Amino acid sequence: MRMSDETKVISPIELRRYHRRVLRYTLGIVIACGLAFGIGWGLSFIFPVFLAKFLVDYPVSSRERFQQLLLAMVLTVLIGLSVSMGVTHYPVILLLLVGLLMLYAYYLFLDPRWNFFATILIIAVMLLPYLGIIHSGLAIYVGSGLIFSGALAVIGFVFLHWLLPEDKQKDEFCTEVTPMSLTRQQRIEDALKALIVVYEVVK
């Protein structure tokens, strides 16, 4: 029995969009690696990693996307630093604050629009306070490195989209579709379950 091979025909618009995204990614990573390893600030190696993730996960840029990424890279680390600065000598208060922030992060994580923000918040909340217990200067060093590298990645993301903008997508099949999120009650229940599982490890 003969089987006919179906070849997918790529339109010139899609091909041009693909080439532009590849060029944007390649140019961005080369520049980011050059800056990170050439200057070598604290945690500079995170800069190309974050930029690569932004360019792959968010091929279309917008003002709302810029605000979300900037909040994720700056506000979450500041929250983690604020927790690690004052209450590391009070274990009960520290555990309560970490638990509440983790619950909120798990709740946000179930919303596709805020899952990256929640991921960075979980990392900051679980990492920085316990580094502050070991040495307060270490928490400040890691936190400032995360903020600086993350902010540079967001700026680089916006600059690359300005330099190589995405083609306007006119057809309905090319628009970005946001997955359906759970209801508020389901998100609260799932966040509580995740916190119960993880909190024993954190303690």
Give the other-Cβ count within 10 Å of 70's Cβ: 17
- Residues in Cβ contact with 43 at an 8 Å cutoff, skipping those fewer than 6 apart: 142, 145, 146, 148, 149
Amino acid at residue number 169: Q
Q: What is the mean pLDDT of residues 186-202?
A: 85
**Percent over 90 (pLDDT), the chain:** 31
Higher pLDDT, 144 or 1: 144
Residue 176 has pLDDT above 60, yes or no: no
- Residues in Cβ contact with 126 at an 8 Å cutoff, skipping those fewer than 6 apart: 98, 102, 202
Q: What is the mean pLDDT of residues 116-132?
A: 87
Give the domain ranges of the chain: 12-202
Task: Quickly tell me which residue has 């389901």 as its tokens.
Answer: 186
Average pLDDT, the chain: 84
Residue 92 has pLDDT above 80, yes or no: yes
Whose CA is closest to 126, among 160, 77, 167? Answer: 77
Q: What is the pTM of this model?
A: 0.81
Confidence of residue 181 (pLDDT cuts 50, 70, 90): low
**Percent over 70 (pLDDT), the chain:** 88
pLDDT of residue 128: 87
49-60 pLDDT, tens digit each = 999 999 998 888
Q: What is the mean pLDDT of residues 83-110?
A: 85
Give the other-Cβ count within 10 Å of 161's Cβ: 21
21-79 pLDDT, tens digit each = 999 999 999 999 999 999 999 899 999 999 999 999 888 888 888 888 888 888 888 88
Residue 177 has pLDDT above 60, yes or no: no
Q: What is the mean pLDDT of residues 167-193?
A: 68
Residue 161 has pLDDT above 90, yes or no: yes
Residue 89 has pLDDT above 90, yes or no: no
pLDDT of residue 93: 86
Confidence of residue 166 (pLDDT cuts 50, 70, 90): confident
> In this structure, are residues 156 and 51 in contact, taking their beta carbons and an 8 Å threshold?
yes
